[in-house]
Amino acid sequence: MPLVTSKEMFQKAYQGKYAIGAFNVNNMEIIQGIVDAAKEEKSPVILQVSAGARKYAKPAYLKKLVEAAIIDSDLPIVLHLDHGEDFEICKQCIDDGFTSVMIDASHHPFEENIKITRQVVEYAHSKGVVVEAELGRLAGVEDAVNVSEKDASYTDPHQAAEFVEKTGVDSLAIAIGTSHGAYKFKGDPNLDFARLQQIATLLPNFPLVLHGASTVLPEFVELCNKYGGQIPGAQGVPEEMIRQASKLGVCKVNIDTDLRLAMTAAIRKDLIENPTNFDPRKYLTSGRSAIQNMVKHKIAYVLGSSNTI
């Protein structure tokens, strides 16, 4: 099976009120762990590559690793650029065979965001590639100090509808209170579901995307800290909130931090428990298995995309 776009999988997800996991990939073990889990769960999957991942692994390696994953799994897989910062990187990825790109011009003023996104959409669509854009800003936990500042960074529902109409984009990342990384909330976790509902109402049958959606499972944080890590106070989006979002038009859920935590916790434990080992295959096997188990759990109990292919 060749790489696919997310068009059909999002339509099915929207109707079925579940979401597709979009997992960040940086090396072979991460790709294998994710894809083996998706295969066990008979779920489609999105493998996404950031500019940092391209720099770390080199584009040609990542592309070939994803091709190998397709041969090995025969799954419908989307290869997606995560947070493309300008037209150039989107074009490079499209020309390299990606089936989906994100243009993240969310830090530009509204009209400029429309203009840049529109340019990417025109090029991508002429090559059969789909485009995700972002409207609103994912504030870090330290950024949103008060309600009006939060309000300014969250996605405006009416602007979202106008943005989609003017750009022709295929999916839209929205800001409703999530943020990237392991520290997402200061107090109790809180997402603006009323806003999400309003966006979904103004954009019927349109796939929304939730970035910063790691749940930061306490078991991995504890394991990391137990074996010499120092990440106290980490807090993610509760699983129930992800389930709720996927019933309100969120078809793509972005996960990177959970992969990092699962892999790092397992490798820390392995190295401490086996001090005489210096075979990377052994501790990387632990890291890969931890990713596989975590992704299986996500697909089956949080995203709900098991048995959908």
Q: Percent helix, strand and coil across the chain, each rounded to 5? A: 50, 15, 35
53 interacts with, out of ligand G3H, ligand 13P, Zn ion, none, CB within 5 to 8 A per kind: ligand G3H
Closest approach, Cβ 204 to ligand G3H, in A, equals 28
Element containing residue 183 per DSSP (H, E):
none
Which structure tokens are listed for 87? Answer: 């037209």
| Among ligand G3H, ligand 13P, Zn ion, none, partner that 214 touches (CB below 5 to 8 angstroms by kind) | ligand 13P
Residue 214 CA, chain-centre distance (Å), reads 9
Residues lying near ligand 13P in the complex (CB under 6 A): 24, 82-83, 180-181, 211-214, 254-258
CB atoms within 10 A of CB 64: 12
If the CB atoms of residues 132 and 156 are measured against ligand 13P, the closer one turns out to be: 132
List the interface residues with Zn ion, window 211-270 (CB under 5 A).
Answer: 211
Nearest Cα to Cα of residue 101 among 109, 110, 92, 113 = 92
CA distance 61 to 271: 27
Residue 213 contact among ligand 13P, ligand G3H, Zn ion, none, beta carbon within 5 to 8 Å by kind: ligand 13P
How long a stretch of residues is the chain?
309
Known catalytic membership, residue 82:
yes
Contacting residues toward ligand G3H, per CB under 6 A: 24, 50, 52-53, 82-83, 180, 256
Measured from the CB atom, is 257 or 289 closer to ligand 13P?
257
Whichever of 39 and 83 has its CB closer to Zn ion, that residue is 83
We find the least distance from the C-beta atom of residue 226 to ligand 13P, in angstroms, to be: 22
**Encoded tokens for 21:** 């996991």
* Token couple for 116: 């840049």
Q: How far apart are the first and last CA of the chain?
A: 13
Q: Exactly one of 36, 72, 74, 82 is catalytic; which is it?
A: 82
Query: Given the complex with ligand G3H, which of 52 and 228 has the nearer CB atom?
Result: 52
Question: In Å, how far from its chain's centre is CA 254?
Answer: 2
Pick the closest to residue 235 from 250, 224, 221, 223 (CA basis). Answer: 221
**DSSP structure class, residue 154:** S
Stretch that binds Zn ion, among 111-119, 121-129, 203-211, 270-278 (CB under 5 A): 203-211
> With respect to ligand 13P, which residue has the nearer C-beta, 285 or 293?
293
To Zn ion, the closest distance from the beta carbon of 173 in angstroms equals: 7
- Interface residues with Zn ion (CB under 5 A)? 211
What amino acid positions are annotated as catalytic residues?
Answer: 82
